[in-house]
A and B are shown apart, each in its own frame.
Chain A
Amino acid sequence: MTEPLTVLDPTAEATPGQRSLNPRPPGLDGLTIGLLDISKPRGDVFLDRLEEQLTTQGAMVRRYAKPTFTKPAPVDLRHEIATQCDAVIEALAD
């Protein structure tokens, strides 16, 4: 019998915190919806159309934009969206 081979763990040995999604709102009337533009070309075209649709369904829309699509959204921006909106839609690109 050969000895079992023990190898060291190459990972961070950490489990990311699990957070559940908020329950889906039954309707949009009176809700504040954040639209996050990641700053890719034509993302605004898509979000403009979404804003029209959401507004006709009675939602209040707030617009946000990342400084650059190449980096994660800054903590302050994420906090702002979380405290000001009931839900957020992020527009990915091109």
Chain B
Amino acid sequence: MYDRGWSDGLPLVPPTRERVLRMLEGTSRSGDEVVALMPPNLVDCTVEKVAVNSVMAGCLPEYLPVVLASLEAICTDDFNMHGVLATTMGVGPVLVVNGPIATRIGMNSGVNVLGHGNRANATIGRAVQLVVRNVGGGAPGGVDRATHGSMSKLGFCFAEDEAGSPWTTLAEDRGFDRSQDVVTAFCGEGPRILVDQKSRSAESLVRMLAEGLLASVSPRTVMGMDGLLVLSPEHMARFGDAGWDRPRFMEEIGKLLMVETDGILAGAGGIEEGLPEGLSGLTLPKFRPGGLLVVHAGGPAGLFSAIIGGWLNGPMGSEPTSREIIR
């Protein structure tokens, strides 16, 4: 299978007829139903082909609906999987799962949430990438031209810790009901840890988080790239204890994420990269409205949060895209 070019580099589970049939029992959808037009080769991708790749990735049948919904989300003009695949930047679909399904299929939203050790987290993202590779024809060195790549190209999927959060969930923030199973695809790179072990107040911590976020992707980008902030439980407790809800947090951090453009113009500080001269004298937000996504996840101990930098946003790049997961 490796020699045929079907692998991402790791061993695969052989997709025998029996295993694929068992995988298809994970969805009520018919095997010949077309899920998406798969980039980059723009071919019809059926539920059966997704099942074959999900077996290879190591998924259990109950994960299949999440894989299907994830593919529906990324194969849209909004998400622009073709561009996400082809770009030289090291980004890929970062998949955040909300709703009761996360617990039901045993997803991890706690210790080592963005790391290894959980079958659902590890194999759902991998299955999605194998479909892009095998059905869509997008492989590194071909249409995939990433300079460095990142773990988000191998498969990056996790669940939000909803039960432990005093806030509304990411999916609720994006217009879904808490009872719905939802996957949100965000075009992002690997996570970067932001340390703040001293802040005891919400006012202090929000400043520290903003300072870290200002460097997301590049300190010289404003509005053009989105960001995903993964607040750890201990960091979230600072805001919960202070009575800050999600809207209050977004309002406060939004004020701190305003950037005076004179400091990041091309040539400023002896750095040729930067904004064009025509944008001098302005104060602009680091993230466009809605361009900062915030979720709660991670182990119970650790005064860190994680920042996942994005890519070009909106119609010029990729739009975070959510889909309901249908069994």
Contact = CB atoms under 8 A, between A and B. Distances in A.
Given A68-B315, A70-B87, A8 B80 contact: no
B220 to A, nearest CB: 13
Nearest to B16: A7
Contact of B317 (A5, A11, A12, A68): A68
Contacts, number: 57
Contacts of B38: 12
Main secondary structure of the interface of B (DSSP, over half): mixed
Interface string A1-16: 0000111111110101
Given A10-B49, A70-B80, A5 B16 contact: yes
B83 A16 contact: no
Interface residues of A, number: 14
B6 interface: yes
A71 interface: yes
B312 A10 contact: no
A25 interface: no
A5 B318 contact: no
Contact of B17 (A6, A12, A16, A68): A6
- Most interface-central of A11, A16, A72 (chain B CB within 10 A): A11
A8 B53 CA distance: 9
Interface in A39-94: 68, 70-72
A10 B56 contact: yes
B212 to A, nearest CB: 26
Interface stretch (B130-138, B175-183, B298-306): B130-138
Contact of A70 (B49, B134, B317): B317
A16 B41 CA distance: 8
B213 to A, nearest CB: 23
Nearest to A14: B43
Contacts of B52: 8-10
Given A71-B80, A71-B82, A11 B135 contact: yes
- The size bracket of the interface on B is 20 to 34
Interface in B1-48: 1, 6, 14-17, 20, 38, 41, 43-45
Interface in B305-319: 312, 315-318
A9 B87 CA distance: 28
Contacts of A72: 82
B46 to A, nearest CB: 10
Contacts of B80: 70-71
Contact of A10 (B53, B83, B318): B53
A39 to B, nearest CB: 9
Contacts of A5: 14, 16
A14 B44 CA distance: 10
Interface of A: 5-12, 14, 16, 68, 70-72
Leading 8 A-B pairs by shortest Cβ distance: A70-B83, A12-B43, A10-B134, A10-B52, A68-B316, A70-B317, A7-B14, A8-B15
Given A5-B16, A10-B130, A72-B82, 4 more contacts: A7-B16, A10-B15, A12-B41, A12-B134
